[in-house]
Structure 1
Amino acid sequence: MRMALSFLLLLVASACVSVPVPPDAQALQRHAANWHEQSGVDASDTGTPPDENWWHTIADPVLGQLITMAWENNYDIKIAQARLQQEAAGRQQARALLLPSVGAQTSYTWTEQSLNSPAGPSSLINAGLIDRELEFWNASIEQSWEIDLFGANRYQVNSATARMQAAMAARHGAAQAVLAQVVSAYVEYHGFRQRLDVLARNTALQEASLVIIERRADLGLESRLAVRRAAGQLATARAGVPGLRGAQQAAMHRLTVLLDVPAGELDPLLHSSSGMLALPAAATGIKSELLMRRPDVAVAELMMQASAADVGVAKANLFPRFALSAVGGYESSSVSSLINGASRSLGIVPQLSAPLFQGGRLRAQRDAAQARWVSALANYQKTVVAACADAEIELARYYSERRAAEHVELAFDEEQAAAELAQKLYERGLLNALELIDARRRSLQAEDEWIRNRIRQQLTFVNLYIALGGGWQSFAEHQVHENRVHEPQVHEPQVHHTLTHENTLPNP
């Protein structure tokens, strides 16, 4: 009766080991429920998530090669993959705590006893009752198992599993960041190259304009002020070349770091493409799914769940621990008689260890674990709010650039038409050379602004898809199969925002 009562009391005590309950996911997703409206952008929810293969739809084979090279060579991705393998190994170690441990032991001992030892059996040896030389043979199997009554080991498994899944999401985040950086550097490199081409043509026009104005000034048809203005415009055009070339080289060097390849290998590859990407239409997707797609939100949520499991571990450590050990084998003074029934030995050792006095150390560990959970919860909530704000900001920038593009393209078309008309008027003698050069210069300026707007559109498109949580799925998984890029394999469950099976926090 007393044993039954004691067991019942232990079960009641084990029920006291609880962990913090994560916040209601629906309450946190209210931040995402109206993010279109908060952005001030008139964009309805299409219900279509961002295309995971959006960078494939750009249909730029050179960019596809660069992304493949990044997946193979980028150090950030390698670091994230190694961390994932580390956490996967830690999870396996934690799971091993739930299972019995089994070990085998065999030994041989030879002893020659002293005849002069006062405490020794010298008289027995001299009488021939026992041998001076003794042999001892042993072969046994040892087993031990901790009965996880208060869930400490199960909570460790939950914590390790959540951290492994967080590492997986972090790897996805690293792939997402690398994808964005590769595309952005590629766009900037070609954008600066195109602007350098426009600037070269503009410089040639300024040189021709200066020659004409100087000749007219020699004939008294232009003032020296006009000559100085033309020379200043030429110097201004030439001054823009070093800055654009430096920016182009910076984009090149960013690619060399991301891909871990020498710049000499990238030059022919980059020059084989125009770099003018055909952007697909952006799909914003279902508002509530924003939080399910972003790796940073997944990492924050999983680390919060890991911290909750750590609280369970710290609380369980306040209670007694139970273990059961058993050993069975054979012991004999002769190897010939080792394996027989008379040499068999068995032992069972129940163990109970309880923390009676630790100076408050265990309670301090519990309080620290609870504080870490509060911090992880706040970080999760902060990440959710920041993710929604990030999406709002990038969506507003994307549509702002698209609206500006309409006016920039119209201005470019009009200036091109004006330059063509000026050429016809010049050929008919109705326009002088300076007026023709000025019309061409204005057309080139409009073209430069069109290129700059095009670059901004492409960069905001990339940033928008990253903010919406799209891109890493295709980059990290589809690209591997499409291009046969192999990474170290880690067998683990998929990332989910609600832990299942082993991840479910136990309530013993």
Structure 2
Amino acid sequence: MTRLRLLTACLATAGLSACASLAPDYQRPAAPVAAQWPADTTTATAADAPAALDLAWQDYFTDPRLQQVIAQALANNRDLRVAALNIESARAQYRIRRADRFPAVTGEAGETARRTPGDLTSSGNAAVTRQYSVDLGVSWELDLFGRLKSLQDQALESYLATTEAQRATRISLVAEVANAWLTLAADRARYDLSKRTYETQAKSLELTRKSFDLGAASRLALSQLQTTAARARADLAATRAQVAKDRNALELLVGTTVDAGLLPASLAEVKQPVAELPAGVPSEVLTQRPDVLRAERQLRAANANIGAARAAFFPRIGLTGSFGTASASLDGLFESGSRAWSFIPSVSLPIFNAGALRASLDVAKLQRDINVASYEKAIQTAFREVADALADRATIAERVDAVQSLVDSARDGFRLSEARYQSGLDSYLTQLDAQRTLYAAEQELISVRLTEASNKVTLYKVMGGGWH
């Protein structure tokens, strides 16, 4: 027994000290993008403004109503809930792999009863024999070549990848809710504009119809105004439907009904984010985006799988033993001399498997190469998203100013045409044309202001906002 204990201790020590992963050393692939953003997209920065990537969403989105809506979405959104459950599932899988590296201990108690016919016994009489036993069993695979360690590393990296996926889902959800909320504000502004335009057209149509009945207005002027009023009515109905759709989309993201008091009436009353991306921030920050980190964790998991596939070529050493008591009678189970034990070491060596192990190693290496490409693509996609957002930001202020000037000019033109019509210098068709121009310009101004607000939301998302 002393020798048995010594042998077991030696094997255990060897198993703990000699196991080493056969996975190749991990090296992060070089980022296949430029070190800096395009020069023409980083000119419009505010040096004293906080950086978007450094702020938590509560500090970036400062409108109190939007903050409440985002908080509701983080608590109720089903996609985010699924991401959280995926983390728990991956964590449990990691615990399973980790447990494989430790001895498994089981306890057993049993009785064996056997009846022997009389013609098989020396006395010629049937006999019943019983045996009772209580055993404590131990089984353990010595991970001399790191197979179990590699599988544990793979499970750990998969778990960490799901954690990054949950973070990416969270950031995307914050941005989607903010954009949906801002879109609702813009479409409500469009609805108000359509309503004012239709009411003005309806009043003008009524006056023109009376003038036509009195012979003071032409049939052509009446027909043109009827067409314009019908178009304004159609726009009003369309924007009313769009506002309802926007609210439905927002509530789907939030996962519950949104109180009307938390909804914006127009973009003009929305408190927008003020943070900017400081000049000189390297594109290397993209490696900290949750979706890029997730791709890297998946690459690390594939790298660990190579170690497990390599270890499969080497012998597996298992130790199985039990220690307990056995007796022919239940009352003698724990008496002196009833001790029983067994020790069964085993070695399994692959000899012939028609190339299955080699194919498994090839699959692991190819999967690693696939994950390298996926990681590089994730960085390239992130770089493009940031570059596009910066390109919009570099010109958005100029676009807003230009469209605002267009609205001001169209408004002045409408006033002049209205005055000339009242003075009899121009026909009503000229006034209608000026009114349509003003209407289109005001709609464009709403759109470009929505683009300005959405650009700040997009910049927060694509920079992986709040990852610090």
- The bucket for the TM-score relative to the shorter chain is 0.7 to 0.9
1:78 aligns with 2:81: yes
CA deviations on 1:308-339 (whole Å, 9 max, x unpaired) are 11111111111111112221111111222222
C-alpha contact 2:20 2:144 (8 A) present in aligned 1: no
Aligned partner of residue 382 in structure 2, secondary structure? helix
1:293 aligns with 2:288: yes
TM-score (norm 2): 0.84
C-alpha contact 1:155 1:312 (8 A) present in aligned 2: yes
C-alpha contact 1:32 1:290 (8 A) present in aligned 2: no
Distance 1:186 1:16, change over 3 A: closer
C-alpha contact 1:418 1:439 (8 A) present in aligned 2: yes
Q: Which residue of 2 aligns with 1:260?
A: 255
1:99 aligns with 2:105: no
Distance 1:32 1:338, change over 3 A: farther
Q: Which residue of 1 aligns with 2:23?
A: 19
Aligned partner of residue 258 in structure 2, secondary structure? helix
Q: Which residue of 1 aligns with 2:225?
A: 230
TM-score (norm 1): 0.78
1:303 aligns with 2:295: no
1:457 aligns with 2:459: no
Identity %: 28
Work out which of the residue numbers 134, 137, 149 in structure 1 matches 2:144: 149
C-alpha contact 1:50 1:282 (8 A) present in aligned 2: no
Q: Post-superposition shift, 1:197? A: 0.8
Q: Which residue of 2 aligns with 1:343?
A: 338
CA deviations on 1:208-247 (whole Å, 9 max, x unpaired) are 3334444555666654333333222222222212221222
C-alpha contact 2:53 2:465 (8 A) present in aligned 1: yes
Aligned partner of residue 247 in structure 1, secondary structure? helix
Alignment size in residue pairs: 447
Q: Which residue of 1 aligns with 2:114?
A: 111
Amino acid at match of 1:123: S
1:192 aligns with 2:187: yes
1: CA distance, partners of 2:24 / 2:122 = 70
Q: Post-superposition shift, 1:89? A: 0.5
Amino acid at match of 1:171: Q
Q: Which residue of 1 aligns with 2:122?
A: 123
Q: Which residue of 1 aligns with 2:307?
A: 312
Distance 1:16 1:181, change over 3 A: closer
Q: Post-superposition shift, 1:416? A: 6.0
1:89 aligns with 2:92: yes
1: CA distance, partners of 2:191 / 2:118 = 101
Which structure 2 residues correspond to residues 81-480 of structure 1 after superposition, within 5 A? 81-116=84-119, 120=120, 122-124=121-123, 132-214=127-209, 222-261=217-256, 265-266=257-258, 268-271=260-263, 276-284=269-277, 286-413=281-408, 445-471=440-466
Aligned partner of residue 76 in structure 1, secondary structure? helix
CA deviations on 1:428-478 (whole Å, 9 max, x unpaired) are 99999979998777665544332222212122221221111115x59xxxx
C-alpha contact 1:36 1:43 (8 A) present in aligned 2: no
Amino acid at match of 2:230: A
- Cα RMSD of the aligned pairs, angstroms, is 3.4
Distance 1:51 1:235, change over 3 A: farther
C-alpha contact 2:19 2:143 (8 A) present in aligned 1: no
CA deviations on 1:405-425 (whole Å, 9 max, x unpaired) are 1222344456667778999x8
2: CA distance, partners of 1:111 / 1:420 = 111
Distance 1:78 1:335, change over 3 A: same
Q: Post-superposition shift, 1:40? A: 4.2
Q: Post-superposition shift, 1:273? A: 5.7
Amino acid at match of 2:43: D
C-alpha contact 1:56 1:64 (8 A) present in aligned 2: no
C-alpha contact 1:140 1:330 (8 A) present in aligned 2: yes
Gaps of 5+ in 2: 1-10
Gaps of 5+ in 1: 1-6, 475-508
